[in-house]
A and B are shown apart, each in its own frame.
Chain A
Amino acid sequence: MHVPADYYLRILPELVLTATAVLIMLIEGGARLGSRAALSGTVALIGTAAALASVAVQSAHRGEAFSGMFRVDGFSLFFHGLIIAATLIVLLLSIGYLRAQRLQRGEFYALLLFATVGMCLMAGSVELIMVFIGLEISSICSYALCGFWRASARSSEAALKYLLLGSFATAFFLYGIALTYGASGSTNLYVIARSLSDVLAGHGSLILVAAALMFVGLAFKVSAAPFQVWTPDVYEGAPVAVTAFMSAGPKAATFAVFLRIFYVALGRYSHTWFWMIWVAAILSMCLGNLGALRQTNMKRMLAYSSIAHAGYVLVAFAALGEHGISAAMFYLACYVAMNLGAFAVISNLAQQNERFIDLHDYAGLGFRFPLQSVCLTICMLSLIGIPLTGGFLGKLFIFKAAFQNHLVGLAIVGLLNSALAAYYYLRVIAFLYMRPATVEVSQPQRSLSMNVAMVACAVGVLWLGIAPNSLLNFVVHSAGALTGR
């Protein structure tokens, strides 16, 4: 059996991340040092940075690997970069956060990296079984991470809820894979596409059921309505650093799988699954934004907001074709940047035992903690979709794609929702700068890594809003590669 060296270069980020995570476990088990967790954190940071750099190596070796199971093209490169960058930011913020919560354990970093490996596999796989394995790797790690704050009952509750509902959703996804295999005789997405075009007659209903089952599993993971019920509780219960992680990487990876499966394998059947996406998009936007209006807990508010943002991405999804895919990809990049930025600030201000997590704690902080407040403001403005931020351009492309494909109703619902959402995002800014302080919030700990995370996200949001051309070109090209065949 001959395996070309290229194959290993094509999965280099995964290899680097796995090696780093195993090394962290060895450090945790072996070193009898006082600052084991700090060492693990540093190793994790270096490893993730190396993985991000190795995406460049990966991009020089495009093509398929391991009997067509894995594929390096523009689409998977984009998501590799996005996911690993998100993990890097989460690492930066969690180093300070874990110290403040006295939760310093190297296992946190190992789990985070293993989850990232799973997500990278999801982004690159063109094989349903491989996709499933990637999904499981990342999910199991996130279940454990949710319950990482063991002294907190809420954290355990979140982990249990996520585990039970998540496994249930995974079972749906697996059933969908089985039926797809039954209808097409393969688990490779490109082979499925070919064989479905051959045996068009009579299998429409089977494909519809298979698509619906896979849709349930994936919609759960991206917390799209009507499968979003778990989101607020889990996001609220999990430690902020984990919430930040869950709202960014896994969502992007699952959308990558979502787009790949539905456009590549089931693209011919878009008339059957289009309405599922359409309904889910409208429900997610409306339920997410309406739910967020009443929340004063910052984590819970952002949980509902992430449901709404999943809805916006689904609008791009429903706007079939290249425009839709590229809009969805660009929006995901913006979403990851602005959401992580908001969570970075929240995790910095939360302090020990997450004391300051309510909106009312944020009153009057604007001039006391200028760095945090400016970063939070930029991210909130971007979440609303104010020009000069990434959120604005992302929404613009999504609604443009929707109009181009004559989804006027969907676009109008989306625009109305954006207006509605402005209320609760602006309320945060208003509390920061226009309300007198009611709660004595103590000085958050100084942490260089947290500051770097906050500033990097804010700068990223502005960069995506002001000079997005290079990324846009890349996204449009790679979206073309996805639909090209």
Chain B
Amino acid sequence: MNSQPNYMANYLPILIQLGLALGLSGGILALSWLLGLHRRTRRKLAAYECGVEPVGDAQNRFAVRFYLVAIIFILFDIETVFLIPWAVVFRSLKLFGFFEMLVYMAIVLAGFFYIWRKGVLDWNTPERAE
């Protein structure tokens, strides 16, 4: 299959697509810069925050819990994603698939139990000093 002489020619459409994407986006940006008006007032150069007056700068310190929650969210999200292909072929997997998924869910639940008991889900408790 890959011993064809014009193997790389298969990639030509992708190359064309890439050129189009670059040309279109670059062209539109260039046009708006060329044709648009440039009035650099202080208000125009300020960061846009949903129309509200900007308050301070963005370089604040965040509580590390935000990251923890985000990571846990992603983990459990991915774990549920595994359920979908399983549900699709559930019939052909028969009982075996069912028990395999039970084991998998048990491991996920063990992880859930762990983070729960460690107080990760509890937003109100003060962070323990290390």
Could you tell me which A residues sit within 8 Å of B by CB distance? 1-3, 18, 22, 25-26, 28-30, 150-151, 182-183, 185, 199, 201-203
Contacts of B97 in A (CB 8 A): 1
Please determine whether A1 and B130 come into contact, CB atoms closer than 8 angstroms: no
Contact of B114 among A28, A150, A185, A203 (CB under 8 A): A28
Interface centre among A1, A183, A201 (most CB of B within 10 A): A1
Please determine whether A201 and B130 come into contact, CB atoms closer than 8 angstroms: no
**B75 lies within 8 A of chain A by Cβ:** no
**CA A30 – CA B110 in complex, angstroms?**
10
Which 6 A-B pairs have CB atoms at the shortest separation, nearest pair first? Answer: A29-B117, A29-B114, A25-B114, A22-B110, A29-B113, A1-B93
Please determine whether A30 and B117 come into contact, CB atoms closer than 8 angstroms: yes
Which residue of the partner chain B has the closest CB to A150? B130
**B116 lies within 8 A of chain A by Cβ:** yes
Contacts of A18 in B (CB 8 A): 107
Which residue of the partner chain B has the closest CB to A183? B2
Please determine whether A26 and B113 come into contact, CB atoms closer than 8 angstroms: yes
Please determine whether A25 and B130 come into contact, CB atoms closer than 8 angstroms: no
Contact of A29 among B1, B92, B93, B118 (CB under 8 A): B118
List 9 A-B residue pairs with CB atoms under 8 Å apart, sorted by A's residue number: A1-B93, A1-B94, A2-B96, A3-B96, A22-B107, A22-B110, A25-B111, A26-B114, A182-B2
Which residue of the partner chain A has the closest CB to B117? A29
**CA A199 – CA B111 in complex, angstroms?**
47
Which residue of the partner chain B has the closest CB to A2? B96
Please determine whether B130 and A151 come into contact, CB atoms closer than 8 angstroms: yes
Given contacts A3-B96, A30-B113, 4 further A-B contacts (CB under 8 A): A25-B113, A29-B116, A30-B117, A199-B2
How many residue pairs at the A-B interface have CB separations less than 8 Å?
A: 39
Could you tell me which B residues sit within 8 Å of A by CB distance? 1-3, 92-94, 96-97, 107, 110-111, 113-118, 130
Contact of B96 among A1, A182, A183, A199 (CB under 8 A): A1
**CA A408 – CA B7 in complex, angstroms?**
43
**CA A264 – CA B94 in complex, angstroms?**
36
Contacts of A182 in B (CB 8 A): 2
**CA A203 – CA B2 in complex, angstroms?**
10
Which residue of the partner chain A has the closest CB to B112? A29
State how many angstroms separate the Cβ of B122 from the closest Cβ of chain A: 13
**CA A2 – CA B114 in complex, angstroms?**
33
Contacts of A150 in B (CB 8 A): 130
Contacts of B118 in A (CB 8 A): 28-29
Which residue of the partner chain A has the closest CB to B1? A185
Which residue of the partner chain A has the closest CB to B92? A1
**CA A182 – CA B93 in complex, angstroms?**
31
Contacts of B3 in A (CB 8 A): 199, 201-202
Contacts of B111 in A (CB 8 A): 25
Contacts of B116 in A (CB 8 A): 29
Contacts of B130 in A (CB 8 A): 150-151
**CA A62 – CA B50 in complex, angstroms?**
64
**CA A237 – CA B93 in complex, angstroms?**
48
Interface centre among B111, B114, B116, B130 (most CB of A within 10 A): B114
**CA A281 – CA B9 in complex, angstroms?**
40
Which residue of the partner chain B has the closest CB to A198? B3
Q: Given A28-B114, A29-B116, verify A185-B2 contact (CB < 8 Å).
A: yes
**CA A201 – CA B4 in complex, angstroms?**
11
State how many angstroms separate the Cβ of A188 from the closest Cβ of chain B: 17
**CA A3 – CA B94 in complex, angstroms?**
12
Please determine whether B2 and A25 come into contact, CB atoms closer than 8 angstroms: no
Contacts of B114 in A (CB 8 A): 25-26, 28-29
**CA A320 – CA B8 in complex, angstroms?**
34
Contacts of B110 in A (CB 8 A): 22, 25-26
State how many angstroms separate the Cβ of B65 from the closest Cβ of chain A: 16
**CA A141 – CA B80 in complex, angstroms?**
23
Contacts of B92 in A (CB 8 A): 1
Contacts of A185 in B (CB 8 A): 1-2
**CA A185 – CA B2 in complex, angstroms?**
9
State how many angstroms separate the Cβ of B2 from the closest Cβ of chain A: 7
**CA A183 – CA B114 in complex, angstroms?**
44
Contacts of A151 in B (CB 8 A): 130
Contacts of A203 in B (CB 8 A): 2
Which residue of the partner chain A has the closest CB to B116? A29
Contacts of B107 in A (CB 8 A): 18, 22
Contacts of A22 in B (CB 8 A): 107, 110
**CA A201 – CA B7 in complex, angstroms?**
14
Which residue of the partner chain A has the closest CB to B130? A150
Which residue of the partner chain A has the closest CB to B7? A202
Which residue of the partner chain B has the closest CB to A199? B3
